[in-house]
Copies of this chain bind each other. A is one copy, B any other.
Amino acid sequence: MRVLILAANGVEDLELYYPYLRLLEEGVDVDVAAPEKGVIKCKYGYQFKVDLSINDVKPEEYDGLILPGGKAPERIRIYAKTIEIVKHFSNTGKPIGAICHGPQVLISAGIIKGRRVTCYIGIRDDVIVAGGKYEDKEVVVDGNIVTSRNPFDLPYFMREFIKLLKKT
Residues of A within 8 A of B (CB): 13-14, 17-18, 21-22, 24-25, 44-46, 151-152, 154-156, 158-159
Contacts and interface: CB of A to CB of B under 8 A. Distances in A.
24 contacts: A13-B13, A13-B14, A13-B44, A13-B46, A14-B14, A14-B17, A14-B21, A14-B46, A17-B18, A17-B151, A18-B18, A18-B21, A21-B152, A21-B154, A21-B155, A22-B22, A22-B25, A24-B155, A25-B154, A25-B155, A25-B158, A44-B44, A44-B45, A44-B46
Contact of A159 (B13, B25, B155): B25
A51 B95 CA distance: 35
Copies in the complex: 2
Q: Which 8 A-B pairs have the closest CB atoms?
A: A25-B155, A24-B155, A44-B44, A21-B155, A44-B45, A21-B154, A25-B159, A14-B17
Contacts of A155: 21-22, 24-25
A25 B24 CA distance: 15
Nearest to A42: B44
